[in-house]
Structure 1
C-alpha cells in the first residue's frame, strides 16, 4: 500500500481525490487534510497568507498519522504566487516539517510538462488576469513556454467549485492555440477528474489539470508509476514526440 498525503486549502473540489483514488487502484490511498484557507480570494495578498508556513505545517501531524509517504501542497495559486525561489522555499520548509518528500501543485505542472516532453502550452485559468500572469511566469521559469493565457476572472474558490463539465470545457477551448502542445487548467478548486477524457478528446491533445497533476506528483515522489488512461495522457506514460 502506498499512502499519499495532500494539504488542501478549504473545501471546493476535494471530492476529486476519492474519485482519482478509485481510478488508481486498491493499493494506493489518497489522504486529504484541509488547511485554513483564510480569506477566499484569488488576490496576491490573500494567496500569500494562504500558503504561509504556519498554515501548511498545521496539517502535517495529521498526515503523519495516516502513514503518508509524501505530501503535496494541493494548491496552485498559493504556491506560484511566491515566485520560483519562494515556492522552492515553501516546499522545502514543508518537507522539513513533515519529515518526508514534499512538493506543490505548481511544481507538479512543471514536472508533468517535463514528463511529457512539452515545451509550449496554453493556460486556461479561473483566476483574475494578474494572478494568471504569475502562473505563466512560473511556467516560463520552469522552461515551459506559454502560448496564450485565458483567464476567467473568478475571485473565489467557492465559485470555481460550482463549475461543471460545460464551463470547464469552454475554458479549455477558449485557452487552446494551434501551436500549444497541451492545455493546462490550474486551480485545485476546479472539478476536473471526471472530465479529462472528454477534454483530451475534444481538444485532440493532452490536458493537465490541477488535481490530476497533484496526485501524479505525489506518485512521482514515491517512485510509483500507474497506468490509468481515464486520468489522461499523463497517466499513460507516453511522452509527446516532438516534430
Structure 2
C-alpha cells in the first residue's frame, strides 16, 4: 500500500489532490452505440413487466419480488423513479425497456460510488448492449464526475454477479460475513472495486471490445473483454 511518513515517522495515506466533495450524479441519459441509459420512469413499467417474466431473476434483489401484475410493476417503478440513492437508470435497446441498474451509496465527500441493483432481462443478458451500459456508467463516474472509487457488491452466493464483476475489470476485495439479512436469510457480501488509476486501461479494453469489427457475421466476439483488459493494463 502506498504511503508517506508524517513528522513522527508514522505511515499515513498519500495526499489526495482532488477537490472534494465531488458532484452528485446528475440524473441524465447516457447514449451508447447499442443501448441508452435513461432515468427510470413510470413510462418504463409496462416494458419491465413484459421483460421480467422469469421469477428467478429476482432472487438476489434485496426485498424485491417478481411483479404480480402490471399495476404492481407501475407502483414499484414509481417508487424507484423517485429515489436519488439508489438512483435508477433504465436500459433501452431499440426503444424497449429491457433492464435497469442504479448508482447507490453515493459518497461525494469520499468520491466513492457503487453500481448495483442490477436486473437485466434474458433479452439483454450476454449482449453487447449489456456490456456497453456498464461502460457508459463507469465512464460517466470516472470522467464526467471525477470519482476515485467505483464499487460492486453482491451476495457471495450469486455466482453470475461475481463472474460479471471480474469480467468487467473489478478487483475482488473480500467477503463481509453475515453482512445483511434480506428476505429472511443471511447474506455474506462479496466486495469488488475499480479505482480511478485503473480506469484508463479498462477504458481502452472496453472501447476495443465494443467496436463492431470485434464481432464476426454471427455476432461472436473475436477478442474477449477480459483478455483486452488484461493486455491494456501496465
TM-score w.r.t. structure 2 length? 0.28
Bigger Cα Rg: 2
TM-score w.r.t. structure 1 length? 0.27
Q: Which has the higher strand share?
A: 2
Q: Which has the higher helix share?
A: 1
